[in-house]
Structure 1
Amino acid sequence: MNTQHGNNNPYNQDNETTWLNWDLLQENQDIFRFFKRMIAFRKTHPSLGRTHFWREDIH
């Protein structure tokens, strides 16, 4: 729901390239709710974000 118009390196941009239009939050409430819940899910399941293989931990 946010384009950078082909710019794949926006880290030093402080302009419309990287700004989010929060006025669209109500219109896009479903996608916002989805990602909010996915972030909460990842925080409650830290093994999903590991940097090493975790097959040994599954029983």
Structure 2
Amino acid sequence: MLSGLLYAKCPQLLEAKCFRAGVELILTSPADTLTIGAVKDASRRGWSVHAAAAA
């Protein structure tokens, strides 16, 4: 139960820190990370799509 409460609070804390620092926070769906990794990093760096999504 305690770990669930901390996990739920993490995105709120991150958003508040970014706001105070003047940094734009762009939220993406976890399903989109594979596509983003494939488009931006995989072919350019010679990585597999899965390695690029994890980076």
TM-score strictly above 0.5: no
Higher Cα Rg, which structure:
1
- Structure with the larger helix share: 2
Which has the higher relative contact order, 1 or 2, with Cα contacts under 8 A spaced 6 or more apart?
Answer: 2
